Amino acid sequence: MRASLIVNPQAGRGLGRRLGGDIQRRLAELGLDCELGWSDAPGDVAVRAEAASRAGFDAVIVAGGDGSVFEAVNGLMRAGRGTRLGVVPVGTGNDLIKAADLPQDWGAACERAVSGAVRRVDVGRCNGHYFLNGVGAGFDAEVARASRSVRRLRGNAVYGLALAKVLVRGVAAPRVTIEDDDGRIEEAVTLVAVANGPWYGGAFHIAPGAAIDDGLLDVVIAASVGRLGVLRFAPRVLAGTHLSLPIVRYHRARRVILTSTPGLCVHADGEILYDAAERLEIEVLPQSLSLIA
């Protein structure tokens, strides 16, 4: 197998930089001679992944977090050549790792990247951007945006501090229209999540029943609540018990159109796509990516 190893040195607050060489050496010990490349700017992982796919590499192995995987998926999907994706987690949230039941230890992840079976998984698409875990609009995207300014913490503490920062600013209640397989909804919301996998933000179990290979997106809509409502809602999301709350609507769909004026902050796999999007067209592309799992 010809593999391209792409390391994001910024992943995990610099963990990628510290472990990149060790990861390459471990893959070599396991018999995989891979070409190492370091990403040097936002978007570079996508460029490198697409180039590796077009150059005929059998697999692209990404050492990074969900943001790095998000970029790699976009590069591989643009190339459209069926190149396999392997993941060595060195990021903050590592949501895909949990969704795909991959090892969280980087050494064990190297072993899986070399000897794991190929699993066909679904990919979501939002306004031309591809994603694996999910798209969030509203409060959760504001938290994702705030997390970018948290520098000294790692892991779930990053999102906890970001949540507190957003609560201090206040909770918006935009009025949105959602059209999908389940019908049409128009209401004021705190957030709308369109999930391919069950997790995002590291610890938030946003769609407990979601599966990355079922050909469906899980739509979670939280009605408008204030600060106190968010403080009550957040622990239930962490536990994955929020779907039974009266403020929550939940269903599954293959395609979702969301419109809002004013526009919403939107993330995909934790990466901010828009600061103020007025229209999102989201769909699932069933089993369109080969994941080494």
Look at residue 122 and give its three-state secondary structure.
strand
Q: What angle do CA 28, 29, 30 make, to 5 degrees?
A: 85
- Can you give the pLDDT at residue 160? 74
- pLDDT tier for residue 268 given thresholds of 50, 70 and 90: very high
pLDDT (mean) for 9-29 = 94
Does the structure show a pLDDT above 90 at 3?
A: yes
CATH for 131-286? Answer: 2.60.200.40
Does the structure show a pLDDT above 80 at 209?
A: yes
Average pLDDT of the residues of the chain:
94
Nearest one of 237, 277, 271 to 145, comparing CA atoms:
271
Cα-Cα end-to-end distance for the chain? 15
Structure tokens at 131: 């994603």
- Can you give the pLDDT at residue 82? 96
- Can you give the pLDDT at residue 37? 97
- Can you give the pLDDT at residue 195? 98
pLDDT per residue as tens digits for the range 144-161: 888 777 766 666 677 678
Cα gap 137→140, rounded to integer Å: 7
Look at residue 104 and give its three-state secondary structure.
coil
Q: Where are the alpha helices (DSSP H) in the chain?
A: 11-29, 44-54, 66-79, 95-99, 106-115, 139-147, 156-169, 227-239
Poorest-confidence range of 125-129, 140-144, 178-182? 140-144
- Can you give the pLDDT at residue 18? 96
Does the structure show a pLDDT above 80 at 275?
A: yes
Does the structure show a pLDDT above 90 at 194?
A: yes
**Domain ranges in the chain?**
3-116, 131-286
CATH superfamily of the domain spanning 3-116: Probable inorganic polyphosphate/atp-NAD kinase; domain 1 (3.40.50.10330)
Cα gap 92→64, rounded to integer Å: 9
Does the structure show a pLDDT above 80 at 95?
A: yes
Nearest one of 116, 115, 108 to 26, comparing CA atoms:
108
Peptide bond into 262 cis (omega under 30): yes
